């Protein structure tokens, strides 16, 4: 039960400010206290949840890149040290706090093509910069197949990192990080945002209007526009339910699901104007 409360608070933190989260936890604690008085429950699990997740800030809501904008950003990233970070973020939907602590031992650029079934190249999103190094929720712990473009970007990035390591020499502090600083340490949110905005500017967009987290929103938007069901998108982004996905990404999720109509048009093709009018008369 404690884990369920932790997961619920973590999911709500995506859309609520910290003060609201604190109020929700307080209301839940008092409700369970009353249930204890009535002997409906044995103990109050909320009392075990001593770490309140940081809520969403009061800044502007997130938005998503269009397909054309995403292509422009990918093109601009080709000559940037941020290339692999941006490609993997945009093509897998990983959170920025999951990308920064990612280590090479959680990245498989080969997979097992001879296995049954075959295992594609993949990245294990099992860690985060959050407290205790855990992902946002239990469902956030996932292994994602890597698109070919992401594999190529990571291969090139690993070669480039070896060159950076050679230049750093004795100053290099090996931590096995994929997206390390020039001395091997973990990048902080500020320098990631700074370098990301340089790429955004090179892509012809306004740097101050975009943050790295919006690569994840763009991932959801582009998949939804491509017709992927929300259930599958929810699994890919590590949400516990489609309700969370719809709440957090309501502006990015396609409002009309067309897959059923497309399939039925293929199975039962229209026979002409008379057929359409007959349906309308029913």
Q: Which is catalytic among the residues 130, 142, 157, 216?
A: 216
Query: Would you call the peptide bond into 149 cis, given omega within 30 degrees of 0 as the criterion?
Result: no
In angstroms, the CA 11 to CA 245 distance is: 10
Longest CA span, the chain: 80
Closest to 187 (Cα-Cα) out of 175, 197, 198: 175
Look up 136 and say whether it is catalytic.
Answer: yes
204: left (phi over 0), alpha (psi -120 to 50) or beta: left
Look up 95 and say whether it is catalytic.
Answer: yes
Q: Which is catalytic among the residues 83, 95, 142, 187?
A: 95
171 and 185 Cβ atoms separated by less than 8 Å = no
Query: Measured in whole angstroms, how far is the alpha carbon of residue 271 from the centre of its chain?
Result: 44
Look up 249 and say whether it is catalytic.
Answer: yes
In angstroms, the CA 263 to CA 273 distance is: 20
Strand boundaries in the chain, DSSP class E = 107-108, 122-125, 142-145
Over its C-alpha atoms, the chain yields an Rg (Å, rounded) of 23
Q: Which is catalytic among the residues 142, 157, 217, 239?
A: 239
In angstroms, the CA 63 to CA 209 distance is: 9
Look up 239 and say whether it is catalytic.
Answer: yes
Look up 43 and say whether it is catalytic.
Answer: no
Task: Give, in degrees to the nearest 5, the angle at Cα 64 between 211 and 144.
Answer: 85
Q: Which is catalytic among the residues 100, 136, 139, 197?
A: 136
127 and 135 Cβ atoms separated by less than 8 Å = yes
Catalytic machinery residues: 95, 136, 216, 239, 249
């Amino acid at each position: 039960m404690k884990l369920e409360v932790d997961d619920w608070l973590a999911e709500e933190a995506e859309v609520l400010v910290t003060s609201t989260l604190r109020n929700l936890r307080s209301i839940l604690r008092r409700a369970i206290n009353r249930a204890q008085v009535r002997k409906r429950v044995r103990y109050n699990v909320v009392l075990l949840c001593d770490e309140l997740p940081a809520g969403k800030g009061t800044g502007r809501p997130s938005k998503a890149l269009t397909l054309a904008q995403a292509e422009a950003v990918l093109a601009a990233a080709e000559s940037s040290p941020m290339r692999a970070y941006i490609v993997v973020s945009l093509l897998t939907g990983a959170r920025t706090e999951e990308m920064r602590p990612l280590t090479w031992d959680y990245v498989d650029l080969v997979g097992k093509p001879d296995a049954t079934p075959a295992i594609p190249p993949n990245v294990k999103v099992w860690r985060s910069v959050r407290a205790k190094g855990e992902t946002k929720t239990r469902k956030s712990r996932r292994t994602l197949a890597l698109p070919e473009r992401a594999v190529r970007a990571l291969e090139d990035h690993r070669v480039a990192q070896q060159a950076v390591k050679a230049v750093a020499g004795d100053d290099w502090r090996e931590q096995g990080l994929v997206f390390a600083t020039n001395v091997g340490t973990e990048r902080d949110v500020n320098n990631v945002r700074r370098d990301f905005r340089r790429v955004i500017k090179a892509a012809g967009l306004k740097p101050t209007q975009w943050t790295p987290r919006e690569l994840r929103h763009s991932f959801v938007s582009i998949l939804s526009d491509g017709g992927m069901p929300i259930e599958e998108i929810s699994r890919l982004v590590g949400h516990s339910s489609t309700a969370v996905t719809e709440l957090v990404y309501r502006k990015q999720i396609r409002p009309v699901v067309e897959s059923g109509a497309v399939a039925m048009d293929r199975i039962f093709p229209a026979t002409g104007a008379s057929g359409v009018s007959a349906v309308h008369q029913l």
